[in-house]
Chain A
Protein backbone atom coordinates (compact mmCIF):
# COMPACT_ATOMS: atom_id res chain seq x y z
CA UNK A 1 0.00 0.00 0.00
CA UNK A 2 1.27 3.47 -0.84
CA UNK A 3 2.12 5.74 2.07
CA UNK A 4 0.45 8.69 0.38
CA UNK A 5 -2.29 8.56 -2.23
CA UNK A 6 -4.10 11.46 -3.84
CA UNK A 7 -7.10 10.78 -6.05
CA UNK A 8 -8.56 13.59 -8.12
CA UNK A 9 -7.55 16.13 -5.48
CA UNK A 10 -9.17 19.52 -6.02
CA UNK A 11 -8.73 22.98 -4.58
CA UNK A 12 -10.68 26.02 -5.71
CA UNK A 13 -9.97 29.57 -4.62
CA UNK A 14 -12.54 32.29 -5.08
CA UNK A 15 -11.72 35.99 -4.98
CA UNK A 16 -14.60 38.24 -5.90
CA UNK A 17 -16.07 36.91 -9.12
CA UNK A 18 -12.92 35.11 -10.14
CA UNK A 19 -12.43 31.44 -9.35
CA UNK A 20 -9.16 29.62 -9.78
CA UNK A 21 -8.81 25.87 -9.74
CA UNK A 22 -5.38 25.64 -8.13
CA UNK A 23 -5.76 21.87 -8.21
CA UNK A 24 -8.02 20.58 -10.95
CA UNK A 25 -8.03 16.87 -10.13
CA UNK A 26 -4.54 15.75 -9.17
CA UNK A 27 -3.76 12.08 -8.60
CA UNK A 28 -0.41 10.88 -7.31
CA UNK A 29 1.00 8.28 -4.98
CA UNK A 30 4.18 7.85 -3.01
CA UNK A 31 5.68 4.77 -1.36
CA UNK A 32 7.36 4.88 2.04
CA UNK A 33 11.00 5.98 1.92
CA UNK A 34 10.77 7.41 -1.60
CA UNK A 35 10.92 10.93 -3.02
CA UNK A 36 8.27 12.42 -5.26
CA UNK A 37 9.34 15.69 -6.87
CA UNK A 38 6.62 18.07 -7.94
CA UNK A 39 7.99 20.35 -10.62
CA UNK A 40 6.20 23.35 -12.04
CA UNK A 41 6.22 27.11 -12.47
CA UNK A 42 4.38 29.87 -10.62
CA UNK A 43 0.69 29.18 -10.43
CA UNK A 44 0.99 25.51 -11.33
CA UNK A 45 -0.57 24.43 -8.01
CA UNK A 46 2.50 22.62 -6.70
CA UNK A 47 2.60 24.49 -3.39
CA UNK A 48 -1.15 24.10 -2.91
CA UNK A 49 -0.73 20.35 -3.28
CA UNK A 50 2.09 20.37 -0.71
CA UNK A 51 0.21 22.42 1.82
CA UNK A 52 -2.86 20.16 1.58
CA UNK A 53 -0.67 17.09 2.09
CA UNK A 54 0.91 18.79 5.10
CA UNK A 55 -2.55 19.59 6.49
CA UNK A 56 -2.18 23.37 6.25
CA UNK A 57 -5.10 23.73 3.86
CA UNK A 58 -8.19 21.64 3.18
CA UNK A 59 -8.94 20.16 -0.21
CA UNK A 60 -12.16 21.23 -1.97
CA UNK A 61 -12.67 17.77 -3.41
CA UNK A 62 -11.11 14.42 -4.11
CA UNK A 63 -9.49 11.99 -1.75
CA UNK A 64 -6.16 12.10 0.06
CA UNK A 65 -5.02 9.03 1.97
CA UNK A 66 -2.05 8.75 4.29
CA UNK A 67 -1.15 5.23 5.37
CA UNK A 68 -4.61 4.08 4.32
CA UNK A 69 -6.43 6.70 6.37
CA UNK A 70 -8.41 9.43 4.67
CA UNK A 71 -7.00 12.88 5.44
CA UNK A 72 -6.91 16.30 3.82
CA UNK A 73 -10.48 17.40 4.53
CA UNK A 74 -10.04 18.45 8.15
CA UNK A 75 -7.31 19.62 10.50
CA UNK A 76 -4.66 17.11 11.43
CA UNK A 77 -4.76 15.93 15.03
CA UNK A 78 -2.69 13.75 17.29
CA UNK A 79 -0.35 11.30 15.59
CA UNK A 80 -0.83 12.74 12.10
CA UNK A 81 0.91 15.94 13.16
CA UNK A 82 3.93 13.93 14.20
CA UNK A 83 3.95 11.67 11.17
CA UNK A 84 3.77 14.45 8.52
CA UNK A 85 6.12 17.42 8.76
CA UNK A 86 7.00 20.35 6.54
CA UNK A 87 10.05 22.43 5.56
CA UNK A 88 9.51 25.81 3.90
CA UNK A 89 11.42 27.91 1.38
CA UNK A 90 12.47 30.70 3.67
CA UNK A 91 13.91 29.43 6.95
CA UNK A 92 14.23 32.96 8.28
CA UNK A 93 10.48 33.32 7.99
CA UNK A 94 9.61 29.84 9.21
CA UNK A 95 11.87 29.89 12.28
CA UNK A 96 10.73 31.93 15.26
CA UNK A 97 13.20 34.85 15.46
CA UNK A 98 12.86 34.98 19.24
CA UNK A 99 13.58 31.29 19.80
CA UNK A 100 17.13 30.10 20.22
CA UNK A 101 18.04 27.07 18.09
CA UNK A 102 17.72 24.81 21.13
CA UNK A 103 14.19 25.99 21.89
CA UNK A 104 13.20 25.61 18.23
CA UNK A 105 14.41 22.01 18.21
CA UNK A 106 13.11 21.07 21.67
CA UNK A 107 9.57 22.25 21.00
CA UNK A 108 8.46 19.51 18.58
CA UNK A 109 10.00 16.90 20.89
CA UNK A 110 7.86 18.18 23.75
CA UNK A 111 4.65 18.84 21.81
CA UNK A 112 4.70 15.82 19.53
CA UNK A 113 7.20 13.46 21.15
CA UNK A 114 5.87 13.74 24.67
CA UNK A 115 9.27 14.48 26.18
CA UNK A 116 9.83 16.72 29.20
CA UNK A 117 11.73 19.98 28.75
CA UNK A 118 14.85 18.41 30.26
CA UNK A 119 14.65 15.29 28.06
CA UNK A 120 14.02 17.36 24.97
CA UNK A 121 16.94 19.67 25.77
CA UNK A 122 19.20 16.65 26.03
CA UNK A 123 18.25 15.52 22.52
CA UNK A 124 19.10 18.87 20.88
CA UNK A 125 22.80 18.02 20.38
CA UNK A 126 21.83 14.80 18.60
CA UNK A 127 19.62 16.74 16.22
CA UNK A 128 22.41 19.24 15.51
CA UNK A 129 24.83 16.35 14.84
CA UNK A 130 22.28 14.80 12.50
CA UNK A 131 22.22 17.87 10.26
CA UNK A 132 26.00 18.45 10.67
CA UNK A 133 25.78 21.68 12.58
CA UNK A 134 28.27 22.44 15.37
CA UNK A 135 26.71 21.97 18.83
CA UNK A 136 27.71 25.45 19.93
CA UNK A 137 25.07 26.88 17.60
CA UNK A 138 22.34 25.75 20.01
CA UNK A 139 22.47 29.07 21.86
CA UNK A 140 22.15 31.16 18.71
CA UNK A 141 19.09 32.93 17.30
CA UNK A 142 18.06 32.34 13.65
CA UNK A 143 19.22 35.83 12.65
CA UNK A 144 22.75 34.89 13.74
CA UNK A 145 22.96 31.95 11.31
CA UNK A 146 23.69 31.79 7.59
CA UNK A 147 20.91 30.82 5.18
CA UNK A 148 22.26 27.28 4.85
CA UNK A 149 22.56 26.88 8.63
CA UNK A 150 19.01 28.15 9.10
CA UNK A 151 17.69 25.63 6.60
CA UNK A 152 19.57 22.85 8.44
CA UNK A 153 17.85 23.92 11.66
CA UNK A 154 14.47 23.87 9.89
CA UNK A 155 15.20 20.36 8.60
CA UNK A 156 16.24 19.19 12.07
CA UNK A 157 13.04 20.66 13.51
CA UNK A 158 10.92 18.81 10.93
CA UNK A 159 12.72 15.53 11.58
CA UNK A 160 12.75 15.86 15.39
CA UNK A 161 9.40 14.12 15.97
CA UNK A 162 10.33 11.24 13.64
CA UNK A 163 7.97 11.84 10.71
CA UNK A 164 7.29 9.27 7.99
CA UNK A 165 6.59 11.94 5.39
CA UNK A 166 8.21 15.35 4.98
CA UNK A 167 6.82 17.94 2.58
CA UNK A 168 9.63 20.23 1.41
CA UNK A 169 8.45 23.34 -0.43
CA UNK A 170 11.35 24.88 -2.38
CA UNK A 171 13.81 24.21 0.46
CA UNK A 172 16.85 25.22 -1.61
CA UNK A 173 15.46 28.14 -3.59
CA UNK A 174 16.79 31.00 -1.49
CA UNK A 175 20.29 29.57 -1.20
CA UNK A 176 23.54 30.00 -3.14
CA UNK A 177 24.27 27.25 -5.67
CA UNK A 178 27.08 25.79 -3.58
CA UNK A 179 24.87 25.62 -0.47
CA UNK A 180 21.98 24.17 -2.49
CA UNK A 181 24.08 21.12 -3.41
CA UNK A 182 25.00 20.48 0.23
CA UNK A 183 21.38 20.71 1.42
CA UNK A 184 20.30 18.22 -1.27
CA UNK A 185 23.12 15.88 -0.20
CA UNK A 186 22.00 16.19 3.43
CA UNK A 187 18.39 15.39 2.58
CA UNK A 188 19.44 12.29 0.66
CA UNK A 189 21.68 11.15 3.47
CA UNK A 190 18.91 11.60 6.05
CA UNK A 191 16.45 9.67 3.92
CA UNK A 192 18.93 6.81 3.54
CA UNK A 193 19.44 6.72 7.33
CA UNK A 194 15.87 7.21 8.46
CA UNK A 195 13.70 6.04 5.62
CA UNK A 196 11.10 8.80 5.54
CA UNK A 197 9.38 9.77 2.29
CA UNK A 198 9.66 13.24 0.74
CA UNK A 199 7.22 15.29 -1.27
CA UNK A 200 9.74 17.68 -2.80
CA UNK A 201 8.26 20.77 -4.41
CA UNK A 202 10.56 22.72 -6.70
CA UNK A 203 10.80 24.82 -9.82
CA UNK A 204 14.45 23.80 -10.11
CA UNK A 205 14.83 20.87 -12.45
CA UNK A 206 18.47 20.29 -11.52
CA UNK A 207 17.47 19.85 -7.89
CA UNK A 208 14.57 17.56 -8.81
CA UNK A 209 16.84 15.37 -10.87
CA UNK A 210 19.34 15.12 -8.00
CA UNK A 211 16.85 14.01 -5.37
CA UNK A 212 13.71 12.47 -6.86
CA UNK A 213 12.76 8.88 -7.49
CA UNK A 214 9.56 9.88 -9.22
CA UNK A 215 8.68 13.20 -10.82
CA UNK A 216 5.38 14.82 -11.68
CA UNK A 217 5.22 17.98 -13.77
CA UNK A 218 2.34 20.34 -13.03
CA UNK A 219 0.86 23.11 -15.12
CA UNK A 220 -2.25 25.13 -14.23
CA UNK A 221 -3.49 22.76 -11.56
CA UNK A 222 -2.98 19.59 -13.51
CA UNK A 223 -0.32 16.95 -13.88
CA UNK A 224 0.91 16.99 -17.46
CA UNK A 225 3.56 14.34 -17.10
CA UNK A 226 4.63 11.73 -14.56
CA UNK A 227 7.11 8.93 -14.32
CA UNK A 228 10.41 7.92 -12.84
CA UNK A 229 13.06 10.59 -12.73
CA UNK A 230 15.08 9.39 -15.68
CA UNK A 231 12.14 9.04 -18.05
CA UNK A 232 10.61 12.44 -17.25
CA UNK A 233 13.82 14.46 -17.15
CA UNK A 234 15.80 12.78 -19.91
CA UNK A 235 13.03 11.68 -22.28
CA UNK A 236 10.09 14.03 -21.67
CA UNK A 237 6.97 13.33 -23.68
CA UNK A 238 4.78 16.35 -22.95
CA UNK A 239 5.56 19.59 -24.85
CA UNK A 240 5.39 21.61 -21.62
CA UNK A 241 7.99 19.41 -19.94
CA UNK A 242 10.20 19.77 -22.99
CA UNK A 243 9.80 23.56 -22.98
CA UNK A 244 10.60 23.65 -19.27
CA UNK A 245 13.75 21.58 -19.71
CA UNK A 246 14.86 23.58 -22.74
CA UNK A 247 14.54 26.84 -20.79
CA UNK A 248 16.90 25.77 -18.01
CA UNK A 249 20.26 27.49 -18.52
CA UNK A 250 23.13 25.04 -18.80
CA UNK A 251 26.68 25.81 -17.79
CA UNK A 252 27.86 25.43 -21.35
CA UNK A 253 29.14 28.62 -23.00
CA UNK A 254 28.90 26.77 -26.32
CA UNK A 255 25.13 26.96 -26.07
CA UNK A 256 24.84 30.72 -26.47
CA UNK A 257 21.47 32.35 -26.84
CA UNK A 258 20.60 33.27 -30.40
CA UNK A 259 21.41 36.90 -30.72
CA UNK A 260 18.72 37.46 -33.31
CA UNK A 261 15.96 35.64 -31.46
CA UNK A 262 13.19 37.94 -30.39
CA UNK A 263 11.87 37.07 -26.94
CA UNK A 264 8.38 36.01 -27.84
CA UNK A 265 5.79 37.01 -25.41
CA UNK A 266 4.31 33.83 -24.04
CA UNK A 267 3.69 35.43 -20.66
CA UNK A 268 1.37 37.96 -22.23
CA UNK A 269 -1.70 37.30 -20.17
CA UNK A 270 -2.11 40.35 -17.97
CA UNK A 271 -2.68 38.31 -14.87
CA UNK A 272 -1.22 38.67 -11.46
CA UNK A 273 1.13 35.80 -10.77
CA UNK A 274 3.15 35.69 -7.62
CA UNK A 275 6.26 33.63 -7.51
Chain B
Protein backbone atom coordinates (compact mmCIF):
# COMPACT_ATOMS: atom_id res chain seq x y z
CA UNK B 1 0.00 0.00 0.00
CA UNK B 2 1.39 3.36 -0.99
CA UNK B 3 1.06 6.14 1.58
CA UNK B 4 1.27 9.72 0.35
CA UNK B 5 3.32 12.41 2.06
CA UNK B 6 0.12 14.10 3.23
CA UNK B 7 -1.15 10.86 4.83
CA UNK B 8 2.22 10.31 6.51
CA UNK B 9 2.05 13.80 7.99
CA UNK B 10 -1.49 13.26 9.28
CA UNK B 11 -0.51 9.93 10.87
CA UNK B 12 2.59 11.51 12.45
CA UNK B 13 0.63 14.41 13.91
CA UNK B 14 -2.05 12.04 15.23
CA UNK B 15 0.58 9.78 16.81
CA UNK B 16 2.37 12.67 18.48
CA UNK B 17 -0.90 14.10 19.80
CA UNK B 18 -2.07 10.74 21.11
CA UNK B 19 1.28 10.11 22.79
CA UNK B 20 1.34 13.44 24.59
CA UNK B 21 -2.28 12.94 25.62
CA UNK B 22 -1.45 9.56 27.11
CA UNK B 23 1.49 10.91 29.09
CA UNK B 24 -0.61 13.74 30.43
CA UNK B 25 -3.59 11.50 31.34
CA UNK B 26 -1.66 8.73 33.07
CA UNK B 27 0.26 11.29 35.11
CA UNK B 28 -2.95 13.05 36.10
CA UNK B 29 -4.96 9.93 36.89
CA UNK B 30 -2.36 8.66 39.36
CA UNK B 31 -3.05 11.57 41.72
CA UNK B 32 -6.17 12.51 43.64
CA UNK B 33 -5.92 16.24 43.03
CA UNK B 34 -5.07 17.91 39.73
CA UNK B 35 -3.35 21.27 39.80
CA UNK B 36 -2.94 23.54 36.77
CA UNK B 37 0.17 25.68 36.97
CA UNK B 38 -0.04 28.64 34.57
CA UNK B 39 3.43 30.09 34.04
CA UNK B 40 3.82 33.70 32.92
CA UNK B 41 6.21 32.67 30.14
CA UNK B 42 8.40 29.62 29.88
CA UNK B 43 10.78 31.73 27.80
CA UNK B 44 11.51 33.98 30.79
CA UNK B 45 14.44 32.39 32.65
CA UNK B 46 13.07 33.14 36.13
CA UNK B 47 9.57 31.94 35.21
CA UNK B 48 11.12 28.77 33.78
CA UNK B 49 13.08 28.20 36.99
CA UNK B 50 9.86 28.64 38.99
CA UNK B 51 7.91 26.26 36.72
CA UNK B 52 10.65 23.63 36.98
CA UNK B 53 10.76 24.08 40.77
CA UNK B 54 6.97 23.66 41.00
CA UNK B 55 7.14 20.39 39.04
CA UNK B 56 10.04 19.15 41.20
CA UNK B 57 8.28 20.11 44.43
CA UNK B 58 5.15 18.19 43.40
CA UNK B 59 7.05 14.94 43.95
CA UNK B 60 6.71 15.59 47.69
CA UNK B 61 2.92 15.30 47.45
CA UNK B 62 1.85 11.89 46.07
CA UNK B 63 -1.81 12.96 46.00
CA UNK B 64 -1.05 15.95 43.74
CA UNK B 65 -0.31 16.14 40.05
CA UNK B 66 0.69 19.34 38.28
CA UNK B 67 0.24 20.20 34.63
CA UNK B 68 2.21 23.22 33.43
CA UNK B 69 0.70 25.66 30.91
CA UNK B 70 2.85 28.31 29.22
CA UNK B 71 1.33 31.80 29.16
CA UNK B 72 3.93 33.04 26.64
CA UNK B 73 3.66 36.59 28.08
CA UNK B 74 0.22 36.86 26.46
CA UNK B 75 -2.78 38.02 28.45
CA UNK B 76 -5.27 36.40 26.07
CA UNK B 77 -3.52 33.03 26.25
CA UNK B 78 -3.32 33.13 30.04
CA UNK B 79 -7.05 33.85 30.17
CA UNK B 80 -7.69 30.85 27.91
CA UNK B 81 -5.59 28.64 30.18
CA UNK B 82 -7.66 29.76 33.18
CA UNK B 83 -10.94 29.04 31.36
CA UNK B 84 -9.67 25.67 30.12
CA UNK B 85 -8.55 24.67 33.61
CA UNK B 86 -12.08 25.36 34.87
CA UNK B 87 -13.59 23.50 31.91
CA UNK B 88 -11.28 20.53 32.42
CA UNK B 89 -12.20 20.36 36.09
CA UNK B 90 -8.79 20.88 37.61
CA UNK B 91 -8.99 21.09 41.41
CA UNK B 92 -6.78 24.15 41.80
CA UNK B 93 -4.95 26.74 39.69
CA UNK B 94 -1.60 28.22 40.63
CA UNK B 95 -1.11 31.25 38.42
CA UNK B 96 1.92 33.41 37.86
CA UNK B 97 0.21 36.51 36.41
CA UNK B 98 1.75 38.36 33.50
CA UNK B 99 -0.35 41.47 34.07
CA UNK B 100 -2.25 41.13 37.37
CA UNK B 101 -4.60 44.02 36.55
CA UNK B 102 -5.80 42.10 33.48
CA UNK B 103 -5.74 38.56 34.88
CA UNK B 104 -7.75 39.47 37.99
CA UNK B 105 -11.10 39.32 36.15
CA UNK B 106 -10.74 35.82 34.66
CA UNK B 107 -9.37 34.61 38.01
CA UNK B 108 -12.39 36.03 39.87
CA UNK B 109 -14.72 34.41 37.31
CA UNK B 110 -12.98 31.08 37.89
CA UNK B 111 -13.30 31.50 41.66
CA UNK B 112 -17.00 32.25 41.23
CA UNK B 113 -17.25 28.78 39.67
CA UNK B 114 -15.73 27.30 42.88
CA UNK B 115 -12.22 27.00 41.44
CA UNK B 116 -9.47 27.33 44.03
CA UNK B 117 -6.72 29.75 42.94
CA UNK B 118 -3.29 30.75 44.26
CA UNK B 119 -1.30 33.61 42.74
CA UNK B 120 2.46 33.58 42.87
CA UNK B 121 5.13 36.07 41.80
CA UNK B 122 3.41 38.53 41.66
CA UNK B 123 0.20 38.42 43.68
CA UNK B 124 -3.03 40.29 42.91
CA UNK B 125 -4.03 43.51 44.61
CA UNK B 126 -7.22 41.73 45.79
CA UNK B 127 -6.56 39.92 49.08
CA UNK B 128 -9.43 37.48 48.51
CA UNK B 129 -7.07 35.65 46.12
CA UNK B 130 -4.57 33.53 48.10
CA UNK B 131 -0.94 34.24 47.29
CA UNK B 132 2.69 33.34 47.76
CA UNK B 133 4.98 36.14 46.66
CA UNK B 134 8.30 37.82 47.02
CA UNK B 135 8.28 41.43 48.10
CA UNK B 136 9.60 43.60 45.26
CA UNK B 137 10.00 46.58 47.57
CA UNK B 138 12.23 44.59 49.89
CA UNK B 139 14.25 43.25 46.91
CA UNK B 140 15.01 46.79 45.80
CA UNK B 141 15.43 48.13 49.34
CA UNK B 142 18.15 45.61 50.32
CA UNK B 143 20.32 46.81 47.42
CA UNK B 144 19.42 50.47 47.93
CA UNK B 145 20.47 50.39 51.61
CA UNK B 146 23.81 48.91 50.63
CA UNK B 147 24.25 51.55 47.93
CA UNK B 148 23.73 54.35 50.48
CA UNK B 149 27.19 53.66 51.85
CA UNK B 150 28.86 52.68 48.56
CA UNK B 151 27.84 55.27 45.96
CA UNK B 152 30.28 58.23 46.02
CA UNK B 153 29.28 61.85 46.62
CA UNK B 154 27.78 63.68 43.61
CA UNK B 155 27.66 60.42 41.70
CA UNK B 156 26.09 60.10 38.25
CA UNK B 157 23.93 56.99 37.88
CA UNK B 158 21.81 55.31 35.20
CA UNK B 159 18.70 53.21 35.85
CA UNK B 160 17.46 50.18 33.87
CA UNK B 161 13.77 49.40 34.22
CA UNK B 162 11.62 46.33 33.53
CA UNK B 163 8.55 46.39 31.25
CA UNK B 164 6.21 49.37 31.65
CA UNK B 165 3.58 48.74 34.32
CA UNK B 166 5.21 45.58 35.68
CA UNK B 167 4.48 45.51 39.44
CA UNK B 168 7.86 44.00 40.34
CA UNK B 169 9.78 46.59 38.35
CA UNK B 170 7.69 49.40 39.86
CA UNK B 171 8.02 47.99 43.40
CA UNK B 172 11.80 47.74 43.12
CA UNK B 173 12.07 51.22 41.61
CA UNK B 174 9.90 52.64 44.40
CA UNK B 175 12.24 51.10 46.97
CA UNK B 176 15.26 52.70 45.26
CA UNK B 177 13.48 56.06 45.32
CA UNK B 178 12.52 55.95 49.00
CA UNK B 179 15.55 54.17 50.38
CA UNK B 180 18.25 55.78 48.24
CA UNK B 181 17.42 58.71 45.95
CA UNK B 182 15.29 60.55 48.54
CA UNK B 183 18.14 60.23 51.03
CA UNK B 184 20.98 60.99 48.62
CA UNK B 185 20.00 64.27 46.95
CA UNK B 186 23.59 64.67 45.72
CA UNK B 187 23.23 61.72 43.34
CA UNK B 188 22.12 62.59 39.81
CA UNK B 189 20.17 60.20 37.55
CA UNK B 190 21.67 60.95 34.14
CA UNK B 191 19.34 58.58 32.30
CA UNK B 192 16.63 56.04 33.06
CA UNK B 193 15.15 53.71 30.45
CA UNK B 194 13.14 50.54 29.94
CA UNK B 195 15.13 47.48 28.84
CA UNK B 196 12.26 44.98 29.29
CA UNK B 197 14.24 42.62 31.59
CA UNK B 198 16.44 41.76 28.55
CA UNK B 199 20.21 41.42 28.53
CA UNK B 200 20.66 42.64 24.95
CA UNK B 201 18.52 45.74 25.53
CA UNK B 202 20.42 46.56 28.74
CA UNK B 203 23.66 46.13 26.81
CA UNK B 204 22.64 48.39 23.92
CA UNK B 205 21.40 51.18 26.19
CA UNK B 206 24.61 51.09 28.22
CA UNK B 207 26.73 51.17 25.04
CA UNK B 208 24.95 54.39 24.05
CA UNK B 209 25.19 55.86 27.55
CA UNK B 210 28.95 55.25 27.58
CA UNK B 211 29.20 57.39 24.42
CA UNK B 212 27.22 60.31 25.81
CA UNK B 213 28.20 60.16 29.51
CA UNK B 214 31.89 59.50 30.09
CA UNK B 215 31.35 59.32 33.87
CA UNK B 216 28.91 56.69 35.13
CA UNK B 217 29.40 55.83 38.80
CA UNK B 218 26.62 53.26 39.18
CA UNK B 219 24.18 51.19 37.14
CA UNK B 220 20.97 50.50 39.02
CA UNK B 221 19.07 47.69 37.35
CA UNK B 222 15.70 46.23 38.30
CA UNK B 223 16.88 42.74 37.37
CA UNK B 224 20.08 40.77 36.86
CA UNK B 225 19.72 40.17 33.10
CA UNK B 226 19.81 43.90 32.30
CA UNK B 227 22.67 44.42 34.78
CA UNK B 228 24.63 41.64 33.07
CA UNK B 229 23.99 43.36 29.72
CA UNK B 230 25.39 46.60 31.14
CA UNK B 231 28.51 44.72 32.26
CA UNK B 232 29.03 43.30 28.75
CA UNK B 233 28.78 46.84 27.34
CA UNK B 234 31.32 48.17 29.85
CA UNK B 235 33.62 45.24 29.12
CA UNK B 236 33.30 45.95 25.37
CA UNK B 237 34.19 49.62 25.87
CA UNK B 238 37.62 48.60 27.10
CA UNK B 239 37.10 50.16 30.54
CA UNK B 240 39.63 49.01 33.12
CA UNK B 241 37.35 49.51 36.11
CA UNK B 242 33.67 48.78 36.53
CA UNK B 243 31.11 51.11 38.12
CA UNK B 244 28.92 49.89 40.97
CA UNK B 245 26.27 47.61 39.45
CA UNK B 246 23.16 46.46 41.28
CA UNK B 247 20.58 43.89 40.14
CA UNK B 248 17.75 41.73 41.48
CA UNK B 249 16.92 37.99 41.10
CA UNK B 250 20.13 36.25 42.19
CA UNK B 251 20.59 34.44 38.87
CA UNK B 252 23.55 32.13 38.33
CA UNK B 253 25.14 34.67 36.00
CA UNK B 254 24.82 37.49 38.54
CA UNK B 255 26.41 35.31 41.24
CA UNK B 256 29.38 34.55 38.97
CA UNK B 257 29.74 38.26 38.09
CA UNK B 258 29.71 39.19 41.79
CA UNK B 259 32.35 36.53 42.44
CA UNK B 260 34.45 38.07 39.61
CA UNK B 261 34.10 41.54 41.14
CA UNK B 262 32.23 42.94 38.11
CA UNK B 263 28.86 43.26 39.82
CA UNK B 264 28.20 44.75 43.26
CA UNK B 265 25.10 43.05 44.60
CA UNK B 266 21.78 41.42 43.85
CA UNK B 267 18.91 40.04 45.90
CA UNK B 268 17.79 36.47 45.54
CA UNK B 269 14.20 35.83 44.66
CA UNK B 270 14.31 32.15 45.46
CA UNK B 271 12.07 30.22 43.06
CA UNK B 272 12.59 27.03 45.08
CA UNK B 273 11.14 28.69 48.18
CA UNK B 274 8.26 30.15 46.16
CA UNK B 275 7.50 26.69 44.75
CA UNK B 276 7.78 25.04 48.16
CA UNK B 277 5.36 27.50 49.79
CA UNK B 278 2.95 27.53 46.82
CA UNK B 279 2.61 23.74 46.79
CA UNK B 280 2.26 23.65 50.58
CA UNK B 281 -0.57 26.19 50.43
CA UNK B 282 -2.16 24.33 47.49
CA UNK B 283 -2.08 21.05 49.39
CA UNK B 284 -3.57 22.66 52.50
CA UNK B 285 -6.34 24.29 50.46
CA UNK B 286 -7.20 20.96 48.82
CA UNK B 287 -7.04 18.75 51.88
CA UNK B 288 -8.07 20.99 54.77
CA UNK B 289 -8.35 24.54 55.98
CA UNK B 290 -5.15 26.56 55.89
CA UNK B 291 -4.71 29.18 58.61
CA UNK B 292 -2.94 31.69 56.37
CA UNK B 293 -3.84 32.41 52.76
CA UNK B 294 -0.96 34.77 52.06
CA UNK B 295 2.73 34.09 52.40
CA UNK B 296 5.80 36.14 51.48
CA UNK B 297 9.35 34.99 50.95
CA UNK B 298 12.23 37.12 52.14
CA UNK B 299 14.76 38.60 49.71
CA UNK B 300 18.33 37.59 50.44
CA UNK B 301 21.07 40.14 49.69
CA UNK B 302 24.00 38.62 47.77
CA UNK B 303 27.38 40.35 47.86
CA UNK B 304 30.97 39.23 47.39
CA UNK B 305 31.00 38.22 51.08
CA UNK B 306 28.34 35.52 50.82
CA UNK B 307 28.18 34.75 47.08
CA UNK B 308 29.85 31.31 47.39
CA UNK B 309 26.78 29.97 49.19
CA UNK B 310 24.55 31.00 46.28
CA UNK B 311 26.94 29.68 43.66
CA UNK B 312 26.64 26.31 45.44
CA UNK B 313 22.84 26.63 45.26
CA UNK B 314 23.01 27.21 41.50
CA UNK B 315 25.40 24.29 41.13
CA UNK B 316 22.85 22.06 42.85
CA UNK B 317 20.19 23.37 40.48
CA UNK B 318 22.42 22.56 37.52
CA UNK B 319 22.65 26.21 36.38
CA UNK B 320 26.42 26.24 36.96
CA UNK B 321 28.40 23.21 35.89
Indicate whether A and B interact. no
List residues of chain B with CB under 8 Å of any chain A CB.
none
